[in-house]
Amino acid sequence: MSRISSKFASRKVLIGYLTVGYPDIGTTVRAAKTLEKAGCDIIELGIPFSDPIGDGPVIQAASHHALQNGITPAACIEIASQLRREINIPLVFMGYYNPILNYGIQRFCRDCQDAGVNGLIIPDLPPEESGDLAEAAVPCSLDLIYLLAPTSTADRISVVTEKSEGFIYLTSVAGITGARDTVPDYLPEFIARVRTQAKQPIAVGFGISSPDQAKAIANCADGVIIGSKLLQLVERDPLLDQLNEFISSVRKALDG
């Protein structure tokens, strides 16, 4: 069992997403520590990219801002290694494929391992094309986490349930990231459909912005992922009290 999948053994897993370097490096480090203390089980760190096709306005803007701050993949790895010295929970990078390709796949995986990163989510890399990365990730003990959307075909579901490591990332909608108010009606059926084939835990992300929504989804899934809402809280309250309160209340809802 990997460090990531073992997190799912004891409770509903809460995964918090942060764009690295938004609004600055110091805040990313403080926010990650806050997430761990307030009850997150895994931290997803976004490597900023100029063309984030899976992202809605909040994460797009955060990405743009971080790039202007000069945040490169190398800087993200450096920040991850700094975080690893201060927090214990698994760290996962979310990054688009192009910057990783430019960095060099093998070097990227080795540097991630040295930094103490535990997994990778590459939203624009379909599992059918991920052979090179998968080969480089194995010796570096990096879980490759694949995504499924409500529109995924039966074939894609088979490939992802075969290959995904750590957990499977189900997107609650076929669209882009961003906080929403409701839980789609079809979600329980979608989760159940994947569950019949999956040996891995299932975590759901996209659009979660309240403890009630998180709880409703965790009734059928093994974990939830929250991103845009956290960046909005970080922006509104750089002292991070609101972030701390929000994550604590989601934790409580998931445990209740």
Ligand X SMILES: O=P(O)(O)OC[C@@H](O)[C@@H](O)c1c[nH]c2ccccc12
- CA–CA separation, 71 and 48 (whole Å): 7
Among 207, 211, 222, 223, binds ligand X (CB under 6 A): 207
Among 120, 227, 233, 250, binds ligand X (CB under 6 A): 227
- x/- map, 11-40, ligand X, by CB under 6 A: ------x-----------------------
- CA–CA separation, 230 and 16 (whole Å): 8
Among 40, 59, 87, 91, binds ligand X (CB under 6 A): 59
- CA–CA separation, 37 and 128 (whole Å): 38
- CA–CA separation, 74 and 57 (whole Å): 25
- CA–CA separation, 145 and 245 (whole Å): 29
CB hemisphere CA count around 202 (13 angstroms): 26
- CA–CA separation, 112 and 100 (whole Å): 11
Q: Which is nearer to ligand X, 119 or 123 (CB)?
A: 123
**Annotated catalytic residue: which of 41, 55, 111, 222?**
55
Q: Which is nearer to ligand X, 87 or 203 (CB)?
A: 203
For residue 150, state whether it binds ligand X (rule: CB under 6 A): no
Give all strands of the β-sheet with 168-171 in edge-to-edge order: 143-145, 119-121, 91-94, 42-46, 13-19, 223-226, 202-205, 168-171, 147-148
For residue 201, state whether it binds ligand X (rule: CB under 6 A): no
73 Cβ neighbours under 8 A, 6+ residues apart: 47, 95, 99, 100, 102, 103, 108
- Is 55 a known active-site residue? yes
Q: Which is nearer to ligand X, 75 or 110 (CB)?
A: 75
For residue 145, state whether it binds ligand X (rule: CB under 6 A): no
For residue 177, state whether it binds ligand X (rule: CB under 6 A): yes
- Is 44 a known active-site residue? yes
Among 225, 243, 247, 250, binds ligand X (CB under 6 A): 225
Q: Which is nearer to ligand X, 92 or 115 (CB)?
A: 92
CB hemisphere CA count around 132 (13 angstroms): 10
- The catalytic site residues sit at 44, 55
The contact set with ligand X (CB under 6 A) reads: 17, 44, 46, 54-55, 59, 94, 123, 177-179, 205-208, 225-229
